[in-house]
Chain A
Amino acid sequence: MNIVVCVKYVPDATGDRRFNDADHTVDRVGVDGLLSELDEYAVEEALKIVEASDGSEGEVTVLTVGPEQAADAIRKSLQMGAHKGVHVLDDAIHGSDAAATSLLLAEAIKKVGAESAWDLVICGMASTDGSMSVVPAMLAERLGVAQVTFGSEISVTGDMVSIRRDGDTATETVEASTPLVLSVTDQSNEPRYPSFKGIMAAKKKPVETWSLADLGVPAEQVGLAAAWTKVDASAARPPREAGTIVTDEGDGAARLVEFLAGQKFI
């Protein structure tokens, strides 16, 4: 099976995250960034599927759209074991919304497919920055293939893919035949750490950089000016006022209930 994994380079959630003052876009350049943690599950699932189809040829291509630093997300995926990388990089992409991002991913996936046909596109369940969870659905729409999303357990038999999807009201089993777009949750697997061998091997793996022109996407269709939504303002939430903290010396429960009663919760 040939698999394309879509990954995103995001600001480190444990570090300082902010917006650019001028255009309210996420600052991806002036802060520490990394491969979105939730995309590691997508890379892992792809590697597992290819490894399970023993003997048969299968390649994992990792694809990202993002600034120069986004190459880090590709490198990490290659270190985990993906075979090659594609980086869609163009100054005109800055400020693209989910719709434009899905367009770029879809066009890049078609270009990958023109060289060798793909069976699966795998995405994480959400990015850890925008966390919209809509790009996999948008990709399926643009590629005209089945959408098998939020898989917490994945099984592949021949060209049939089946997932367990845990919804709010029910747990569903969803299946479709390839080609399709699959997204996986953080319940699906345990992402591997890159081994020393993997880190060394990654240095020799091919990474192609494609511009808008390479994809045949006009600059007017992407970037901040082409976005279908506009952010008017972004502001840090005021810090919460320091609360009362008591140490339990046998009276902790009583003081807790006193507080709740004072706030009219009881």
Chain B
Amino acid sequence: MTEVLVLVDHVDGAVKKTTSELLTIARRLGEPSAVFFGTGVEQAKETLAQFGAAKVYVVEDAALGEFLVAPKAEAMAQLVEKTQPAAVLIPSYAEGKEIAGRLSVKLESGLITDAVDVKAGDNGPQTTQSVFAGSFTVTAQVTKGTPIITVKPNSATPEPTDGAAEVEPFAVTISDAAKTARIVDSKPREKTGRPELTEAAIVVSGGRGTGGNFEPVEAFADSLDAAVGASRAAVDSGWYPHSYQVGQTGKTVSPQLYIAAGISGAIQHRAGMQTSKTIVAINKDEEAPIFELVDFGVVGDLHTVLPAATEEVTKRKG
């Protein structure tokens, strides 16, 4: 069976859930081979095997960690040359999409970004994308070269199987031209103990209506084991870090349940959450556009509704 390359998203060997999703999707198209950049493969191997990776190509070249994007794109191109895969699947985070972009130019191969579903078709993978702030659905395919597809989190339910996860070191040659944008400092983001925003099953977000007090939002999120998000208005006001922003210029989330508290629902925000399965909103303004999207809405003050709801949820969970 033809190989399908899957770029592993990990931090020092701790594999993100998106990787299990991509391996699951890759099995629809061929035999998944994981591509592992950096160190920590011993730790990652078990998960990669569990979701069906037959091989794990490991690239440890130091340049991959020292310089932005370009060396990873070169390494990926060399792996594609070697393996002639049926497709290359890359998680849709910022650097993933940039690697995909450079790879597309290098290989003269078509690129589809932000797929929310990928199926096998007669002429290669068929993708589904959600566009224009989630108001349109587009199906597409690559018509030239090796299909390169970036896939959003939560696009598949990870299905365990048995993979050999045979580790194969892969030596790459990184050109001097790729060693130009140097990463001179890297500070890991502070851990909150909450689920990852883009991976969480439930997200509770706060907006302008919090007035800067996110405590009720965080407490309600914790009662539901949810991630916390914020609207652009809240981030621009300096109330919550940008890395938690949900919307066009922040994260796109597609959880089972999205709860918007004190968020009006401007297009910028809708772009980041419109495809959530169930949507709930709490807002003082009954005219807020967010109510057009909801399955359930409460017209009221989040500062009274959320604490009472938190108490009730905690009581029920006992």
A residues with CB within 8 A of B: 13-14, 17-19, 24, 38, 97-99, 102, 125-126, 128-138, 140-142, 144-150, 152, 162, 165-177, 180, 185-187, 227-237, 240, 243-248, 252-257, 259-261, 263, 265-266
Contact = CB atoms under 8 A, between A and B. Distances in A.
A266 B224 CA distance: 7
A72 B190 CA distance: 43
A97 B142 CA distance: 11
Given A245-B299, A265-B224, 12 more contacts: A134-B104, A138-B102, A140-B102, A141-B102, A147-B98, A162-B184, A170-B187, A172-B183, A173-B185, A237-B136, A252-B305, A253-B309
Contacts of A168: 93-94, 189, 198, 243
Contact of A247 (B93, B111, B113, B299): B299
Contacts of A18: 136
Interface stretch (B25-33, B163-171, B207-215, B287-295): B287-295
B181 A174 contact: yes
A240 B293 contact: yes
Given A147-B69, A257-B316, A133 B97 contact: yes
A147 B243 contact: no
A185 B235 CA distance: 14
Nearest to A24: B138
A246 B181 contact: no
B297 interface: yes
B192 interface: no
Interface of B: 11, 68-70, 73, 93-95, 97-102, 104-106, 108-114, 126, 130-145, 177, 180-189, 198, 202, 224, 242-243, 248-249, 256-257, 267-268, 271, 278-280, 282, 286, 291-301, 304-309, 311-313, 316-317
A169 B143 CA distance: 34
Contact of A237 (B70, B137, B183, B316): B137
Nearest to A131: B248
B11 A266 contact: no
Contacts of A230: 140-143
A31 to B, nearest CB: 11
A17 B136 CA distance: 9
Contacts of A265: 202, 224, 256-257, 278
Given A98-B101, A171-B187, A172-B185, A235 B142 contact: no
B147 to A, nearest CB: 9
B110 A228 contact: yes
B249 A141 contact: no
A246 to B, nearest CB: 6
A147 B111 contact: no
Contact of A234 (B68, B133, B137, B313): B137
Given A168-B243, A169-B11, A257-B312, A245 B68 contact: no
Contacts of B135: 17, 236-237
A232 B77 CA distance: 27
A13 B297 contact: no
A38 B247 CA distance: 13
A64 B32 CA distance: 40
Given A133-B98, A170-B186, A138 B202 contact: no
Nearest to A12: B267
Contact of A228 (B109, B183, B295): B109
Contacts of B95: 167
Nearest to B93: A168
A240 B275 CA distance: 10
